[in-house]
Amino acid sequence: MTVRVPISPSVLHWAIQRAEWSEEDARRRFPKWDAWSAGEAQPNWRQAQDFAQAANVPFGRLFLAEPPDERLPVADFRRMVAK
Protein backbone atom coordinates (compact mmCIF):
# COMPACT_ATOMS: atom_id res chain seq x y z
CA MET A 1 0.00 0.00 0.00
CA THR A 2 1.41 3.35 -1.04
CA VAL A 3 0.68 6.27 1.26
CA ARG A 4 0.26 9.57 -0.59
CA VAL A 5 1.10 12.82 1.18
CA PRO A 6 -1.30 15.70 0.48
CA ILE A 7 1.01 18.67 -0.04
CA SER A 8 -0.52 21.86 -1.38
CA PRO A 9 1.13 23.31 -4.50
CA SER A 10 1.66 26.65 -2.71
CA VAL A 11 3.74 24.90 -0.02
CA LEU A 12 5.77 23.10 -2.68
CA HIS A 13 6.52 26.40 -4.43
CA TRP A 14 7.41 28.01 -1.09
CA ALA A 15 9.84 25.16 -0.38
CA ILE A 16 11.69 25.53 -3.69
CA GLN A 17 11.87 29.31 -3.26
CA ARG A 18 13.27 28.78 0.24
CA ALA A 19 15.83 26.34 -1.19
CA GLU A 20 16.65 28.86 -3.95
CA TRP A 21 15.84 26.36 -6.69
CA SER A 22 14.35 27.11 -10.07
CA GLU A 23 11.47 25.10 -11.50
CA GLU A 24 14.05 23.34 -13.69
CA ASP A 25 16.11 22.38 -10.62
CA ALA A 26 13.02 20.88 -8.98
CA ARG A 27 12.14 19.04 -12.22
CA ARG A 28 15.66 17.63 -12.48
CA ARG A 29 15.69 16.42 -8.87
CA PHE A 30 12.10 15.16 -8.83
CA PRO A 31 10.79 13.94 -12.21
CA LYS A 32 7.14 14.15 -11.07
CA TRP A 33 7.51 17.80 -10.02
CA ASP A 34 5.17 19.13 -12.72
CA ALA A 35 2.30 16.89 -11.60
CA TRP A 36 2.94 17.69 -7.92
CA SER A 37 3.11 21.45 -8.45
CA ALA A 38 -0.07 21.41 -10.55
CA GLY A 39 -1.93 19.44 -7.88
CA GLU A 40 -2.57 16.56 -10.28
CA ALA A 41 -0.59 14.05 -8.21
CA GLN A 42 0.78 13.72 -4.70
CA PRO A 43 4.18 12.35 -3.68
CA ASN A 44 4.35 9.19 -1.66
CA TRP A 45 5.71 9.24 1.88
CA ARG A 46 9.31 8.51 0.87
CA GLN A 47 9.29 11.06 -1.97
CA ALA A 48 7.97 13.72 0.43
CA GLN A 49 10.72 12.90 2.93
CA ASP A 50 13.36 13.07 0.20
CA PHE A 51 11.95 16.39 -1.02
CA ALA A 52 11.97 17.88 2.48
CA GLN A 53 15.54 16.75 3.07
CA ALA A 54 16.80 17.99 -0.31
CA ALA A 55 15.05 21.37 0.07
CA ASN A 56 16.17 21.63 3.70
CA VAL A 57 12.60 22.11 4.91
CA PRO A 58 11.24 20.54 8.09
CA PHE A 59 9.09 17.58 7.02
CA GLY A 60 6.12 18.70 9.13
CA ARG A 61 5.88 22.03 7.30
CA LEU A 62 4.92 20.21 4.12
CA PHE A 63 1.58 19.39 5.76
CA LEU A 64 0.58 23.04 6.22
CA ALA A 65 -2.35 24.31 4.15
CA GLU A 66 -0.52 27.55 3.33
CA PRO A 67 3.19 28.41 3.36
CA PRO A 68 4.41 29.84 6.67
CA ASP A 69 5.31 33.50 6.92
CA GLU A 70 9.01 33.32 7.71
CA ARG A 71 10.73 36.54 8.49
CA LEU A 72 14.46 36.21 8.32
CA PRO A 73 16.42 38.51 10.59
CA VAL A 74 18.49 41.25 9.06
CA ALA A 75 22.14 40.30 8.92
CA ASP A 76 24.29 42.10 11.44
CA PHE A 77 27.58 43.06 9.85
CA ARG A 78 28.95 45.06 12.77
CA ARG A 79 32.44 44.12 13.85
CA MET A 80 35.09 45.22 16.24
CA VAL A 81 37.55 47.68 14.76
CA ALA A 82 41.13 47.28 15.95
CA LYS A 83 42.76 50.51 17.10
Angle between helices 9-18 and 45-55 (to 10 degrees): 30
C-alpha dihedral sign at 6, 68, 66, 27: negative
Query: CB–CB of 61/10 below 8 Å?
Result: no
- Return the higher-pLDDT residue of 75 and 65: 65
Mean pLDDT in residue range 36-57: 93
CATH 1.10.260 fits 9-63, yes or no: yes
The letter for the amino acid at 30 is F
Query: CB–CB of 12/63 below 8 Å?
Result: no
Over residues 16-31, the pLDDT tens digits come to 999 999 999 999 999 9
Other Cβ atoms closer than 10 A to 25: 15
Q: What is the pTM of this model?
A: 0.79
Q: Domain segments of the chain: what residues?
A: 9-63
pLDDT bin (cut points 50, 70, 90) of residue 72 is low
